[in-house]
Amino acid sequence: MAVRIKIPALLTLFMLVSCGTLSIHKTSDFKKLSSRYQLNKVYYSEGENSKKNIMEWQMHSISLLRLFNIYDHDADFISLYFEGENKLLLDYIIIQEGVVTVKHEEFTGKWKKNFFEVYLSKKQFFIPLLYGRFDIDRLRIGVNDKGNLFIRNFYDRSGYITGFAAGNSAENPYYFITQQQYTGLMPYNDNGLWGYKNNEGKIIIAPQYNFARTFEYDAARVILNGKWGLIDTLGAVLAAPQYDSISKPNAMSLPPVYVVSKNNKLGLADAKGKIICAVQYDEISGGYKNYFSTKLGDKYGIASRQKTIVPALYDRVGIYDDKGFFTVFKNKKEYLVDTLGYEYDIIPPPKRRFIDFSPYYGKVPDISTRRIAN
């Protein structure tokens, strides 16, 4: 017997699976709360992805502030607490214009069975089978089976037009430990000066700094007399306080590196405080795997996690391929640059026959033209 599916039912089903806010997502890993105020604690701001078989780029820690789309501040510990029926609050310490300040954020959401739900973005419009546009960013906040703060972040930034779709969506689970569970050296304040204690309360580095951040990769960022520097876990100076800012360590690959700034110029330093890319650039971006793009004026260069590969010589720096070459552009001409800083002309692609529609994959360097980029 043939099964008949009515068109309205089909359209309804399509709407349900297409609509980000109506999609069904896993909630069984949220455990029962004894009280909604059970979550009112101070948490270490760096959380871990608890998804199994995650991709390499997902293995890195996630900032609690980033989950709430707060990108203009960093914090080591964050006080998370609830007030009333639908209000979530975050308090954290920042340094602003040289002054230690407590920053306060508020979010409105709803309590579900075992979690609190917040929509940071909830925009959608769709005509089933014809057109759809979605911008959904949702957090579900509760505890996992170990009692850790547990957050599921779902986002959907996608769209479709009659059979053609673009964008991406994903749901990632993260957990965060409390300040009491943190085992690293803890920054503490004593009469306006900052030092470090271990988890037993013993003073390891005496209070002497205007501000201090937690240790990452055995180095910590500190402020003295308005300038940022780096110290090791014994308090020895790795980089003298001389910088206007030092970023969190970029650890998308190892070894970690810092972006440092001085007099409105940027450079790169390693975890020992050694400058590996001179503090002279207007922009530094990238860092996935081993390479960064640098910009000085309207010219671009390339740096690695160990050194400057080429200074800012090019009108544009393109992609890095799996054969070990960067595509670069200079004076409207395209070249290749290897990871040692040598530049090459590109061997022209083979001529095509009129009916040959096969693509030309990859660019091949002319080894005979190898030269130092200048």
Q: Is 120 helix (H, G, I), strand (E, B) or coil?
A: strand
pTM score = 0.83
* Residue 319 binned pLDDT confidence (cut-offs 50, 70, 90): confident
Cβ atoms of 37 and 82 closer than 8 Å: yes
Q: What integer pLDDT is reported at residue 167 of this predicted model?
A: 83
pLDDT score for 15? 45
How many other CB atoms are found less than 10 A from the CB of residue 139? Answer: 22
pLDDT at 220: 97
Structure tokens at 174: 């993260």
The lowest-confidence range among 17-26, 122-131, 219-228 is 17-26
Under the banding of pLDDT at 50, 70 and 90, the label for residue 23 is low
Residue 355: band (very low, low, confident or very high) from pLDDT cuts 50, 70, 90: low
pLDDT at residue 362, rounded to an integer: 67
* 248 contacts: CB under 8 Å, gap ≥ 6: 74, 216, 258
Check pLDDT > 60 for residue 17: no
Residue 188 bridge partners (DSSP): 195
- Residue 220: which residues within 8 A CB-CB, separation 6 or more? 185, 187, 196, 212, 213, 214, 230, 231, 232, 233
Q: What is the DSSP string of 16-81?
A: HHH-TTTS----TTSPPPS-GGGG-EEEESEEEE--TT--GGGSS-EEHHHHTT--S---SEEEEE
CB 167 within 8 A of CB 182: no
pLDDT of residue 7: 42
Let me know: does 28 contact 143? Beta carbons within 8 Å.
Answer: no
Residue 64 pLDDT class (50, 70, 90 cuts) = very high
d(CA 336, CA 324): 10
- What average pLDDT does this structure show over 338-363? 75
Considering the chain, what is the average pLDDT of its residues? 87
Report H helices in 156-206: none
- Pairing outcome for strands 164-176 and 46-49: antiparallel
Whether the per-residue pLDDT at 361 is higher than 70: the answer is: no
Q: Is the pLDDT of residue 8 over 70?
A: no
**Is residue 14 over pLDDT 80?**
no
1 pLDDT more than 50: no
Q: What is the pLDDT of residues 30-63, one digit of tens each?
A: 999 988 889 999 999 999 987 665 544 445 678 9
Q: Using the structure block, give the residue that is written with the tokens 């979605």.
A: 134
